[in-house]
Amino acid sequence: MITKIIVILLIISSTIYPSIALLDPISVSVGAAVLAGLGYNFDFVKEKTYCKLQECCNDDYIPGYVSKLEDELESHLFGQHIVIQKVIPALQAHFNKGTHSKKSLVLSFHGTPGTGKNYVADFMAKTLYKKGLSSKFVHVFKGRADFPLQSESELYSRQIKMLVENAVMECPRSLFIFDEVDKMPNGIFEALTSLVDYSSKNKDVDYRQAIFVFLSNTAGVNIATHLGSLLSKGILREDTKMSDFENILEVGAYNLEGGMKKTGLIEAHVVDHYIPFLPLEKEHVAKCIEAEFRRWGKIPSSEITEKIIEEFVSFEKKTGLFATSGCKRLDKKVVVEGKMMF
């Protein structure tokens, strides 16, 4: 009876006095182990104390709001119907506890700059994790900034493997985002292959709930060329499918310079989906501009939108259809132009 009172007081006081909930994990583990010996569940004690104020690897902090992500992409991602058609179902299946995923979810995003790759990856973090990109379970790596030297490729590979192992040990539902993969040294992901393969377990660490996202400009030009070819045949942009581009992306990622070149990740077929981000046309850039103005509480006229496109957006010369930098940096242009125009 006395021990029950102690546990109840511990739970209640952790809410009233937050400092109690700020105990470090070792202290919580020791305390929970003692209580477990008295018949109390470790996870129950931790959920009611430590996890009240500290981020934990549970449903509260990793809600996996895929429907919210879908809403955000439908509202703010322009010209990328294939992305929404494939990424959302992939995440729904991954977060469905009844499906018992057999491997990590591995997505490879490809496209020219400004087509929305970073936007989608960022919003995945923001909607799937309560603390978004600030979550300690979300890990972001940046091209040359984190891995500058080709000569150190093997070292980087070991470092990535160790970091992933430690992160997944702490939280099996971790998210790893590798940005600017095309700027990373060749061979950097070799050590990852065994971790993300089917039914992968290593040192009693289960990687099947983890998500890996690779962002690359690789094959972006190939995507644009092929899309242009399809459009010239009378095929509507909205009728294009992932199957129209997937082989192009897999071959391009494997053969072109960058972190994926000749990698075991591709040879072992552990990348679940190669997602094409189509080059943006004028109408999509206009929507980006309008969305950015709305973010500042403004509604631009068609003349203002047209002026910004004429002054700041260039289109590739072959067809004149696709914006060379998509919607990249338009937010900065809108801020400057908006102040002058309103």
Residues 254 and 295 in one domain: no
The Cα 75–Cα 55 span in angstroms is 29
pLDDT by residue (tens digit) across 200-222? 566 678 899 999 999 999 899 99
Around 286, how many Cα atoms within 13 Å sit in the side-chain half-sphere?
Answer: 12
Cα distance from N-terminal residue to C-terminal residue, the chain? 70
Contacts of 325 (CB under 8 A, 6+ apart): 112, 113, 114, 313, 314
Beta bridge partners of residue 205, listed in sequence order: 202
Print the domain residue range for 20: 2-53
Residue type, 337: E
Residues 290 and 256 in one domain: no
Most confidently modeled range among 27-36, 249-258, 276-285, 327-336 = 276-285
**Longest CA–CA separation in the chain, Å:** 81
Residues 13 and 87 in one domain: no
How many helices (H) and strands (E) the chain has is answered by: 17, 7
Residues 141 and 242 in one domain: yes
Residues 34 and 135 in one domain: no
Name the pTM for this structure: 0.85
Q: What is the CATH number of the domain that holds 106?
A: 3.40.50.300
The Cα 176–Cα 53 span in angstroms is 24
pLDDT by residue (tens digit) across 106-120? 999 999 999 999 999
Q: Could you give the 3-state DSSP secondary structure of residue 323?
A: strand
Name the DSSP class of 281: B
The Cα 33–Cα 330 span in angstroms is 54
pLDDT at residue 25 is higher than 60: no
Around 40, how many Cα atoms within 13 Å sit in the side-chain half-sphere?
Answer: 23
H helical segments located in the chain: 2-16, 18-21, 25-37, 42-48, 50-53, 66-76, 81-95, 117-128, 143-146, 153-170, 193-196, 220-232, 246-255, 264-267, 282-295, 302-312, 330-341
Residues 148 and 178 in one domain: yes
pLDDT by residue (tens digit) across 162-190? 999 999 999 999 999 999 999 999 989 98
pLDDT at residue 7 is higher than 90: no
